[in-house]
Chain A
């Protein structure tokens, strides 16, 4: 079955600390993977995506994610959190031209 799992519905970090948001997937074929961000009262916007090639993908606002096939993971990281990073983050997978979304992780950044 195709699915995306995000561990931790809420993550809290201090400003300047490392951000790590976890995503694991289940797929019968090589997946296309995405991270989206949703700021309050807004729609979702793409942060980054992995299709083929380099497994470390860089996105907007200093975020990056690494595709690890052996671990079926696509964790999102940022070396230093900023207050403006506070938002909800969704991991997604595209298989057979259909999207599957994780349940989301709300990131809180403490001053």
Chain B
């Protein structure tokens, strides 16, 4: 596709349920990022994938959060046993690693509401 695609665009789930959020990066982009944006807050870094390297998971807030990237392309962010504080917009971004300062391209986000 032409841009970063995230699905679903909106997700309402009950507290305690697991959810999966999907990100399709731009073809050829080897770097992929997940961020969380809570209401009125800035961007909170969650996880970073770069090629075949081990992901940088330093931003994951708890062990209920995990992410994988299959085949160096699509990524899935999984939140287990969701809590109300997980309610936020989850943004995915991808970039082409060129050493020339390529920009990150963002998806429209998934708005997660835990009720």
Interface membership of A43, Cβ < 8 A: yes
**Known A97-B31, A97-B99; contact A102-B104, beta-carbon cutoff 8 A:** no
Residues of A within 8 A of B (CB): 32, 34, 36, 42-46, 49-52, 90, 92, 94, 97-99, 101-104
Q: Is the CB of A43 within 8 A of B108?
A: yes
Q: Smallest CB–CB gap between B7 and chain A, Å?
A: 13
User: Which residues of chain A have C-beta atoms less than 8 A from B101's C-beta?
Assistant: 32, 49-52, 94
Q: Is the CB of B97 within 8 A of A43?
A: no
Q: Is the CB of B42 within 8 A of A98?
A: no
Q: Is the CB of A34 within 8 A of B103?
A: yes
Q: Is the CB of B43 within 8 A of A104?
A: yes
Interface membership of B65, Cβ < 8 A: no
**Known A45-B106, A51-B101; contact A99-B56, beta-carbon cutoff 8 A:** no
Q: Smallest CB–CB gap between B11 and chain A, Å?
A: 15
Could you list some 26 contacts between A and B, CB below 8 A?
A32-B100, A32-B101, A34-B103, A36-B106, A42-B108, A43-B4, A43-B91, A43-B106, A43-B109, A44-B91, A46-B103, A46-B105, A51-B101, A94-B95, A94-B101, A94-B104, A97-B50, A97-B95, A97-B99, A98-B50, A99-B33, A99-B93, A99-B95, A101-B45, A102-B42, A104-B43
Q: Which of B91, B104, B105 contacts A92 (CB 8 A)?
A: B104
* CB under 8 Å from chain A, chain B span 30-59: 31, 33, 35, 42-43, 45, 48, 50, 56
Q: Is the CB of B99 within 8 A of A44?
A: no
Q: Is the CB of A90 within 8 A of B42?
A: yes
Kindly state the separation between the CA atoms of A32 and B101 in the bound complex, as whole angstroms.
Answer: 5
Q: Smallest CB–CB gap between A35 and chain B, Å?
A: 10
Central interface residue in B35, B43, B95, B107, by most chain A CB within 10 Å: B43
Central interface residue in B4, B33, B106, by most chain A CB within 10 Å: B106
